[in-house]
């Protein structure tokens, strides 16, 4: 039962060391829950340095913990504070645990990292367990190739946490596309508490319709998500438009807030010479741009993939393959189902290949022509699961459970 009469509270944790994916997924879940339940409040704990750039619905708020960033050697360092990494992690751990203690949620959802960054959420999970507060681990559809994920989880002692600290595991996808736990020796007890929800459908924020569109008429949207690893893709697209015989439709390129300032400046300078290119650094309501585009060129991160499917957009995905194969696995599986087309940048990026892909994009098959039933029902399923947890005994539709 809810602890405050009819009012319920959900706490969501997201480590957010880099990129936009975790934050945007947690925000989508929070917004969907409060939109359906006037008595519910959602608080998001995040390390994202740009969380304040996004709008939040009434009854959804956030606390930003000190940011950290992962270096190329795999180590972490403080993002903005000139203090030791261990001190930063100690502050984060304390803020997370004290917030959970005071907020006293009816449900605690952890996004992607079972024990948080360097184990920072383990104490909070134990606190929730001691208080009898249900806990959920939410996983995206693809984590990484099993050969890398299995030893990583063994090193972090993840499986004991899944058995002892979590009541539920939700996978925000369909097993027909990918099983993120494939190749891992998952205990039977973990399989029994795991549910596939389907993908998280996105909508266009109402305020977005009032903003001035960046380009008149039809356009192709190019988005590398957060942009921190999207320079190759953007360069490839720009070279297609710089060629003697460029694509027919103009393009809007959203570089992303985490692309380096040097790379951004170079792309803006090149785009200024092209009448058919409009460049934006960041758009906190990118859903509108995707909704209005003829097609999308992207890298294949989870959120962009959800938006492509939600708005039924033809898409060309150019997934990264380092440091994780997550995007590559998702894009490959989606292409095999006919949902998208893919290009690889691993063996060079010939200009004519991109030009041809951009020309064909407006006429390729739409995702809806190959969509699997129930594919985009994730937010509805999450809502039903939340209600069943907070109000035991409430009816719930049949879901696809995990079987090893």
pLDDT digits (tens, 9 = 90+) for 263-314: 999 999 999 999 999 999 998 889 999 999 999 999 999 999 999 999 999 9
Beta strands in 230-307 (DSSP E): 251-254, 277-280, 295-298
pLDDT of residue 1: 37
pLDDT of residue 145: 83
Q: Do 361 and 386 belong together in one domain?
A: no
Is residue 325, in this structure, part of any structural domain at all?
A: yes
Distance separating alpha carbons of residues 326 and 345, to the nearest angstrom:
15
Tokens of 67: 């940011």
Say which DSSP state 52 is in: G
Task: Using alpha carbons, list the distances in angstroms from residue 182 to 142, 205, 248, 332.
Answer: 10, 35, 42, 16
Task: Using alpha carbons, list the distances in angstroms from residue 157 to 87, 140, 248, 365.
Answer: 23, 20, 52, 43
Q: Do 262 and 356 belong together in one domain?
A: yes
Of 42-56, 119-133, 200-214, the range with the highest mean pLDDT is 119-133
Q: The domain spanning residue 121 has which CATH number?
A: 3.40.50.2000
Which contiguous run of DSSP H or E holds residue 44? strand 40-46
Q: Which of 102-116, 209-223, 268-282, 322-336 has the lowest mean pLDDT?
A: 209-223
Which of 363, 368, 304 has its CA nearest to residue 330? Answer: 304
Does this model's pTM top 0.85? My answer is yes
Task: Give the three-class secondary structure for 342.
Answer: strand
Q: Do 156 and 13 belong together in one domain?
A: yes
Q: Do 280 and 195 belong together in one domain?
A: no
Q: Do 128 and 217 belong together in one domain?
A: no
Q: Do 151 and 254 belong together in one domain?
A: no
Q: Do 136 and 70 belong together in one domain?
A: yes
Categorize the per-residue pLDDT at 176 as very low, low, confident or very high, splitting at 50, 70 and 90: confident
Tokens of 22: 């975790």
Q: Do 273 and 128 belong together in one domain?
A: no
Say which DSSP state 279 is in: E
Stretch 145-162: mean pLDDT, rounded?
88
pLDDT of residue 9: 97
pLDDT of residue 6: 76
With pLDDT > 70 as the criterion, what percentage of the chain qualifies? Answer: 90
Q: Do 228 and 322 belong together in one domain?
A: yes
pLDDT of residue 280: 94
Q: Which of 11-15, 147-151, 152-156, 295-299 has the lowest mean pLDDT?
A: 147-151
Domain with 280, as residue range(s), is 206-369
Distance separating alpha carbons of residues 58 and 172, to the nearest angstrom:
24
Q: Do 154 and 284 belong together in one domain?
A: no
Categorize the per-residue pLDDT at 395 as very low, low, confident or very high, splitting at 50, 70 and 90: low
Q: Give the gyration radius of the chain's Cα atoms.
A: 21
Is residue 225, in this structure, part of any structural domain at all?
A: yes
Beta bridge partners of 14: 46
Is residue 1, in this structure, part of any structural domain at all?
A: no
Which of 19, 380, 51 has its CA nearest to residue 200? Answer: 380
Assess whether pLDDT exceeds 50 at residue 182: yes
Distance separating alpha carbons of residues 192 and 170, to the nearest angstrom:
11
Distance separating alpha carbons of residues 226 and 228, to the nearest angstrom:
6
Is residue 3, in this structure, part of any structural domain at all?
A: no
Give the residue carrying structure tokens 């020796």. Answer: 185
Which of 31, 41, 20 has its CA nearest to residue 379? Answer: 31
Q: Do 74 and 160 belong together in one domain?
A: yes
Strand order across the beta sheet in which 314-317 lies: 277-280, 251-254, 220-223, 295-298, 314-317, 341-342
Number of H helices, E strands in the chain: 13, 16
Is residue 154, in this structure, part of any structural domain at all?
A: yes
Is residue 214, in this structure, part of any structural domain at all?
A: yes
Say which DSSP state 203 is in: -
Q: Do 226 and 352 belong together in one domain?
A: yes
Assess whether pLDDT exceeds 70 at residue 51: yes
Beta bridge partners of 223: 298
Assess whether pLDDT exceeds 70 at residue 129: yes
Question: Structural domain tally of the chain?
Answer: 2
Is residue 2, in this structure, part of any structural domain at all?
A: no
Is residue 244, in this structure, part of any structural domain at all?
A: yes
Stretch 353-382: mean pLDDT, rounded?
95
Task: Give the three-class secondary structure for 333.
Answer: helix
Q: Which of 58-67, 251-260, 270-279, 321-330 has the lowest mean pLDDT?
A: 321-330
Assess whether pLDDT exceeds 90 at residue 184: no
pLDDT of residue 275: 93
């Amino acid at each position: 039962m809810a602890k405050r009469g009819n009012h319920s509270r959900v706490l969501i944790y997201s480590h957010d060391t880099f990129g936009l994916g975790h934050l945007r997924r947690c925000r989508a879940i929070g917004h969907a829950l409060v939109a359906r339940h006037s008595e519910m409040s959602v608080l998001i704990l995040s390390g994202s340095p740009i969380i304040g750039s996004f709008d939040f619905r009434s009854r959804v708020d956030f606390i930003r913990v000190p940011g950290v960033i992962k270096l190329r050697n795999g180590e972490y360092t403080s993002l903005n504070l000139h203090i030791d990494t261990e001190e930063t992690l100690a502050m984060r751990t304390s803020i997370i645990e004290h917030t959970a203690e005071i907020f006293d949620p009816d449900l605690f959802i952890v996004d992607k990292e079972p024990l948080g960054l360097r184990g920072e959420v383990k104490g909070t999970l134990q606190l929730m367990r001691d208080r009898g507060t249900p806990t959920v681990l939410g996983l995206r559809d693809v984590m990484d190739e099993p050969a890398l994920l299995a030893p990583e989880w063994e090193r972090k002692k993840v499986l004991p946490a899944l058995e002892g600290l979590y009541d539920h595991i939700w996978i925000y996808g369909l097993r027909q596309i990918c099983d993120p736990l494939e190749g891992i020796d998952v205990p039977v007890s973990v399989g029994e508490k795991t549910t596939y929800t389907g993908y998280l459908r996105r909508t266009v924020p109402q305020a977005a319709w009032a903003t001035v569109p960046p380009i008149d008429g039809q356009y192709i949207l190019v988005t590398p998500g957060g942009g921190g690893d999207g320079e190759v893709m953007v360069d490839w697209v720009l070279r297609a438009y710089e060629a003697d015989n460029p694509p027919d439709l103009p393009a809007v390129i959203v570089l992303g807030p985490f692309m380096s300032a040097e790379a951004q400046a170079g792309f803006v300078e090149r785009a200024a010479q092209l009448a058919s290119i409009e460049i934006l650094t960041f758009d906190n309501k990118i859903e509108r741009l995707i909704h209005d585009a003829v097609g999308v060129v992207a890298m294949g991160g989870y959120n962009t993939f959800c938006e492509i499917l939600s708005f039924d957009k033809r898409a060309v995905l150019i997934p990264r393959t380092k440091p994780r194969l997550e995007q590559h696995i998702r894009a490959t599986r989606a292409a095999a189902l006919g949902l998208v087309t893919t290009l690889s940048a691993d063996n060079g990026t010939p200009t004519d290949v991109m030009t041809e892909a951009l020309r064909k994009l407006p006429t390729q098959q739409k995702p809806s022509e190959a969509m699997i039933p129930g594919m985009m029902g994730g937010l509805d399923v999450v809502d039903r699961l939340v209600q069943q947890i907070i109000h035991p005994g409430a009816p719930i539709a049949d879901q696809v459970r995990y079987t090893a």
